[in-house]
Structure 1
């Protein structure tokens, strides 16, 4: 499916694909200079690319650990990640084929005015969280996708309890979803320019040797009051659950998080925070 150990993969995220998240995260000003305004996602950003000597070359993904840089305020971002094939056509057009999905934490350092989004996303090993439980997508994100009815929930584990960090949300509640989302991703990977906090993605893909696989996180949900006001501390645990409500009772999710137990109908990520 996707061999993360090989290093020949790209990691991308989407900024602003869930209404209200950027406002809660205090990042609206970062996009004030963009020519495109209005609702919907602002653009894509890289969090991993195999470019020699570049900070993004460091593999930031872990399924169990989270590193907290000294003095930094780190906030979790519960998301769905897609494992995708990337195909390059004549004229450098990028085509994207989703193969599977998993729970993802696009953890971010809260730093207003950062020159590029990527500098807040990859600060070394264990920056990002990705569940080891991938669930196959037989028909990608075409209409009627197996992902359509799933939901995203997240929880902070602290002082022996697990409390909701993000608002339990339907995957289909993303502003862009399905075939429209894939078409938008393809356009950004093909033509996104260097503007404001965004980077020239075609150039970066070229420097990375045109990787054939990518992990693409499709956007963070809104926070609960706890999530909006709470940064991680050493010893905290953070869980992201992407689950099928037809098979998983949401009231059981905190208990599953406490046991780090993935069951049928669930892609679960649980990782423990520690200092560098």
Structure 2
């Protein structure tokens, strides 16, 4: 299996976008269902749309590089939640002011950490509060084929918080294939949204963000957050918390392997992308 050790600095040359509402019930649990009620989708379980979290050289907060592999800046925000996701590192084809193709090359564990303030502003404003707002694993895995018979079909997402020495499940363990949209369906949907999404409710028109796309190396896509456990629904991040997000081959690694890794046993999780962050 081909692994890729990511140097976080590389991502300064990528455009960062997230998929909103790609797991059943996540928006409701995150307190965002009302804000998204104005967004109508063609299919009941379709994602709601895409949002930017990092646009290099943008003259707003979106120009701040927010990604870290080891820490989260709490920033004294009352209601911060982990969002455990699969990140897709992608190439693209952009011609004649239109996105033609997205080519996912690598995947890994991602924390689309979010401020849950309900202020009626765009979703993007809750995603980037400067350095260390987001998290990505340094250990990415090569995508053989972004199809249902490819490597990602075997992977699960799990997330945890360790607080005062006590480990808690934060997100429900979820198969990557249980995303509402994934593989070709997600790719085709994203291409369409990048070209056609309009400013509505918590979402923005995307065309202005990708106008100069060809200046940049690639796309970093956060594919959507899992549902929360009871603990995750009701407990927000505190300084000193340890965050763990695992995207692991569930046909190869057991859940027990993941638990032992967090307890400090020196396991070699050969088919896993792991993110470990401290809240500061």
Q: Do these two structures clear the TM 0.5 threshold for a shared fold by scoring above it? A: yes
Aligned residue in 1 for 2:79: 73
TM-score normalised by structure 1 residue count: 0.93
Contact 1:86-1:97 within 8 A present in 2 as well: yes
2:9 pairs with one of 5, 18, 24: 5
Cα deviation for residue 51 of structure 1 reads 2.9
In the alignment, does 2:43 pair up with 1:44?
no
Q: Which structure 2 residue ranges, 5 or more long, are not aligned?
A: none
Q: Which moved more, 1:24-33 or 1:253-262?
A: 253-262
CA distance in 1, matches of 2:267, 2:131: 24
Where does residue 98 of structure 2 map in the other structure? 92
Correspondence for 2:143: 137
Task: Give the alignment partner of residue 218 of structure 1, picking from 223, 239, 245.
Answer: 223
Q: Give SS of 1:93's match.
A: strand
Moved more, 86-95 or 241-250: 86-95
Matches of 1:115 and 1:206 in 2, distance apart? 23
**8 Å contact kept, 2:249–2:271:** yes
Cα distance in 1 between the residues matched to 2:56 and 2:147: 30
Q: Is the 8 A contact 1:89 1:95 kept in 2?
A: no
Change (3 A) 1:91 1:71: closer
Matches of 2:113 and 2:93, distance apart in 1: 28
1:257 paired with 2:233, answer no
Distance 2:197 2:78 in 1: 29
2: CA distance, partners of 1:131 / 1:258: 19
Deviations 1:142-180 (A, max 9, x none): 231111111000011112122211111110000001110
Change (3 A) 1:148 1:71: closer
1:192 matched to 2:210: no
Q: CA deviation at 1:262?
A: 6.3
Task: Spell out, residue by residue over 1:71-124, the C-alpha distance to the aligned partner (whole angstroms, 9 max, x if none).
Answer: 431000100000001211235133100001000001100011331111000000
Whole-Å separation in 1 of the counterparts to 2:195 and 2:59: 24
Q: Give the superposed CA RMSD.
A: 1.9
Q: Which runs of 5+ in 1 are unaligned?
A: none
Task: Name the TM-score, length of structure 2 as normaliser.
Answer: 0.91
Aligned equivalent of 1:26:
31
Aligned residues: 273
CA contact (8 A) 2:109 2:274 kept: yes
- Partner of 1:238 in structure 2? 243
Give the match's secondary structure for 2:153.
Answer: coil
Structure 1 ranges of 4+ moved more than 4 A: 1-4, 207-210
Is the 1:162–1:254 contact (alpha carbons within 8 Å) kept by the matching residues of 2?
A: no
- 1:210 & 1:258 partners in 2: Cα distance? 43
